[in-house]
Amino acid sequence: MSVLVLTLPASTSAAQADWALVDNGAVIAGGVIAPGEHPGLPDDAKPVRAVALAPAETMFLRRAPVPGSNDRDARRAAPFLIEECLAQPLDAVAVEVGPLQETGDRLIAAVDGDLLAAWRRWVAGLGVKPVFLVPDALLLTSNGADLVAFAYGDRVLVRLSAADGAERGEDRDVDVALGEPLVFSIDAQLGQTLLPALAEKLQPRRVLISEQLDPNLTAPDGAPIALKRMDAPDLRMLAAQAPQEALDGFPPLLGASFASALDWTGLLAPWRVAAVLALITIAASALFAAGEAAYLERRAAAYAQAELETFQAAFPDTRPANIQAQLRQALASVGAVEDRAGFLDLSAALADIMAGNEAVRIDALRYDADRGVLSVSALYRGFDDFESLRLAAEARGVVLDDGGARQSTSGVEAEFTVRLP
């Protein structure tokens, strides 16, 4: 897992900044870039995130309870909580809050607005998301020391532990009183004066100092201390090793455009098999629909041909044009005369009467347009079947007139007419 680390300058006029690609505890690539320039990463490099190290002296950082039921309300309230601690007016600084912690506190960060705009230009060319902005001195670990001082070129990074002082009940700086470690950086020349003053004020019992600094600077006269000296750690390594949950707790000063985007590939990975099956199902359904459409087209063509042949057989002297309209015209010609019922009305009434009746078989129909009656030739099982038909017709407002019946070897052959009253 590789991490891209960018060391930001403390000035808006800086022409270049250092970058390093850290993988498994080693720097595998590095160099300098101009604002907005993309670092020359190896072709196979895929950093999981970028950490922008800001000089600690350029950032104000405080943990405190911030009023507000959501991030937007907290963002509005935060500037007024730290206004008296800032060396600049509020309109000249950018203030951002971190996510709400389980303790109910949030990290509040403030930085000069022009400097932050310059930093955004630096990180814009990295081509890596997310980008976390972290003050470099905050990465230092105390290893149990009350005072930590490491030299980095012309700067000295300092970390003051608050816990022991709070336990002793000593009069401390307001940050220490809050139980929060105080981290900052100072000019190396000023360190010759400020470090002894800090030691005199804090009376540390355990001191961790880099080899480049004089240990006497942090040892008050006559005060017994446990002193440990070590080389200053590589801030790039500390940045790359910072756990994700710790980085997520920092205020997103760089803005949402440099925040982590959703990893759709990772989110969709469990659904790949289902997606493949869904695509197969869709493809199969499309093929089935296409086959069904082709089959229906063939059936429709067959029905159209059968319709044409039937029409030509029934009306050999008529040229087929619009068969449906021609059939309606032919039916109309045998339809109602004046106010008498037509063939369609009477045949529909007969079909309604015959519904469910298996004792009577209709053999022939003849329509008399002049009389408005439908003559029916039928075969009964018995002579009483006509009476059941007559009652069914009467219930439907239709009149059946008996035309006679005779017994045959097949049953009772009968004639009757269907008319409307």
Query: Which sign, positive or negative, has the C-alpha torsion 200, 202, 208, 209?
Result: negative
Q: Read off the tokens for 249.
A: 């707790």
Structural domain includes residue 198: yes
Decide if 160 contacts 140 (C-beta within 8 A).
Answer: no
Q: Are residues 143 and 162 in the same domain?
A: yes
Structural domain includes residue 153: yes
Mean pLDDT in residue range 53-73: 89
Q: Are residues 209 and 284 in the same domain?
A: no
Residue appearing with tokens 């060319």: 125
Tell which residue, 254, 304, 295, 307, has the closest CA to residue 130: 254
Q: Are residues 364 and 391 in the same domain?
A: yes
pTM over 0.95: no
Q: Are residues 358 and 386 in the same domain?
A: yes
Q: Read off the tokens for 253.
A: 């000063």
Residue 59's H or E segment, with its range, is strand 59-65
- As a three-state string, the secondary structure of 106-136 is EEEEEEEHHHHHHHHHHHHCCCCCCEEEEEH
Give the integer Cα–Cα distance in Å for 201 and 194. Answer: 10
Query: Which sign, positive or negative, has the C-alpha torsion 24, 41, 251, 84?
Result: positive
Amino acid in position 416: F
Amino acid in position 248: D
Give the integer Cα–Cα distance in Å for 303 and 221. Answer: 113
Q: Are residues 300 and 391 in the same domain?
A: no
Mean pLDDT in residue range 357-377: 89
DSSP, collapsed to helix, strand or coil, labels residue 17 as strand
Q: Are residues 48 and 176 in the same domain?
A: yes
Q: For residue 269, what pLDDT band results from cuts at 50, 70 and 90? A: low
What are residue 281's phi and psi, to 5 degrees? -60, -45
Q: What percent of the chain has pLDDT over 70?
A: 89
Decide if 334 contacts 371 (C-beta within 8 A).
Answer: no
> 358: domain CATH number?
3.30.1360.100
Structural domain includes residue 57: yes
- As a three-state string, the secondary structure of 374-419 is EEEEEEECCCCHHHHHHHHHHHCCCEEEEEEEEECCCCEEEEEEEE
Provide the angle, in degrees to the nearest 10, between the axes of the packed helices 385-395 and 343-354: 120
How many domains are contained in the chain?
3
Residue 146, pLDDT score: 85
Give tens-digit pLDDT for 123-166: 988 888 899 999 998 888 888 888 899 999 889 998 887 544 43
Give tens-digit pLDDT for 168-200: 444 433 333 344 567 888 888 888 888 888 888
Name the residue with higher pLDDT: 1 or 22: 22
Q: Are residues 175 and 277 in the same domain?
A: no
Residue 183, classified by CB atoms within 10 Å of its CB into exposed (0-12), middle (13-18) or buried (19+), is buried
179 sits in the region (left: phi over 0; alpha: psi -120 to 50; else beta) called left
Determine the distance from the C-alpha atom of residue 391 to the mean position of all C-alpha atoms in its chain, rounded to a whole number.
Answer: 71
Tell me the longest C-alpha to C-alpha distance in the chain: 144
Give tens-digit pLDDT for 370-404: 888 999 999 998 888 888 888 989 988 889 999 99
Planar angle of CA 342, 347, 353, nearest 5 degrees: 130
Q: Are residues 38 and 76 in the same domain?
A: yes
Residue 341, pLDDT score: 61
No. of helices (H) and no. of strands (E), the chain: 12, 17
pLDDT at position 271 over 70: no
The strand pairing partners of 23, in sequence order, are 2, 26
The runs of H, that is alpha helices, within 100-212 are 113-124, 163-168, 174-177, 188-202
368 sits in the region (left: phi over 0; alpha: psi -120 to 50; else beta) called beta
Classify strands 49-54 and 131-135 as parallel, antiparallel or unpaired.
Answer: parallel
Q: Are residues 309 and 181 in the same domain?
A: no
Structural domain includes residue 323: no
Average pLDDT, the chain: 84
Q: Are residues 219 and 364 in the same domain?
A: no
Residue 299, pLDDT score: 86
Structural domain includes residue 204: yes
Q: Read off the tokens for 412.
A: 């009772």
Residue appearing with tokens 């200053």: 232
Last residue of one domain, picked from the residues 261, 280, 300 = 261
Last residue of one domain, picked from the residues 261, 282, 299 = 261
Residue 53, pLDDT score: 94
Name the residue with higher pLDDT: 144 or 328: 144
Structural domain includes residue 320: no
Structural domain includes residue 324: no
Q: For residue 217, what pLDDT band results from cuts at 50, 70 and 90? A: confident
Q: Are residues 237 and 113 in the same domain?
A: yes
Q: What percent of the chain has pLDDT over 90?
A: 26
Residue 334, pLDDT score: 60
Q: Are residues 87 and 225 in the same domain?
A: yes
Structural domain includes residue 216: yes
Decide if 342 contacts 336 (C-beta within 8 A).
Answer: yes
Q: For residue 222, what pLDDT band results from cuts at 50, 70 and 90? A: low
Through-space distance between the first and last CA atoms of the chain, rounded to whole angstroms? 96
Residue 281's domain spans which residues?
Answer: 271-314
Q: Read off the tokens for 307.
A: 């319709």
